[in-house]
Structure 1
Amino acid sequence: MSKLLLSLHVLAAVLFIGPVTVAASMFPARARAALAADADRPAAVASVRMLYRITRVYAIMGLTVPALGFFTAQSMGVLGDPWLLVSIALTAVAVGVLLLVVLPRQEGVLEALDGTGPDPATLSRLAMFTGMYSLLWTVVVVLMVVRPGSTTGA
């Protein structure tokens, strides 16, 4: 059962967290391009809206990753291991950054694109928080692979 859960956990991470990370990372640059677009502004804004929609939908689906991770850790008997507790904490921070910072700021940028346009500093901060989100997941992945103190020899 552990192998099945681990496989589903990894598959969910690849299918759900990967697209969120890519779409969220592309959003600030596409928003800047939409601001600069004159002739094709509606198409440029539409691509920014699509990136927001991808980020939002995959963020919701991505919540299956920590859920599957919890059940996987429980079945493997590693739920109390320090590396996993750190991974859980970093995952919670990543989820918080995405849901409480990145998505609301993306929404604000979309509203601003319909009006006067977002402040360039807003896009820079959004890019910074998106980078933090990506970095947090990178650290979690490394912890999952390295598993400090593991006896598997990996």
Structure 2
Amino acid sequence: MSLGDHGQPDTAADPRALGDDQIRLEMPADSRFARVARVAVSSLAVRLGFDVGVVEDLRIAVDEALVLLLRDLPGPATAPTDGPPVTVVMTLTARVPDLQVELRLDPPPTGAPSSDDVTDDDDPLSRFAELVPPRVTSSVTRHDGIVRLGLDD
């Protein structure tokens, strides 16, 4: 498969690259499962023909998104006494030449920060924005427990 701009698959050169793929992965809200998420996004990106740099950027972005989502949880995925255990649902959607990633906590957090606009140097959102590679776009609604990632054109 040949690559076009930004290391993305060139669909004109390879019509097999057309189409949508969607993968949904549910895992415990535990940082020990971050590798599973990184492998899933990397594997799909490689399968779609993205170059190594794009694959690495997506892997880093998924890792940092998980750090951001899991940061305020009390500990590994333990079942609260009044509800189900918290999980992370990761949905990967490939619409060539793009790959969209959504990570969300299920059930959504309660009592999380009410504003995502804090710009404090120690703020996890500021840190997240600094660590996510520039070609990966992100949309964070931390109070809802959702992080969306995509590729910048």
Q: Considering the TM-score relative to the shorter chain, is it more than 0.5?
A: no
Which has more helix, going by share of residues? 1
Which has more strand, going by share of residues? 2
Q: What is the TM-score normalised by the length of structure 2?
A: 0.32
- Kindly name which structure, 1 or 2, has the bigger radius of gyration based on alpha carbons: 1
Structure possessing the higher relative contact order (Cα contacts under 8 Å, 6 or more residues apart): 1
Q: What is the TM-score normalised by the length of structure 1?
A: 0.32
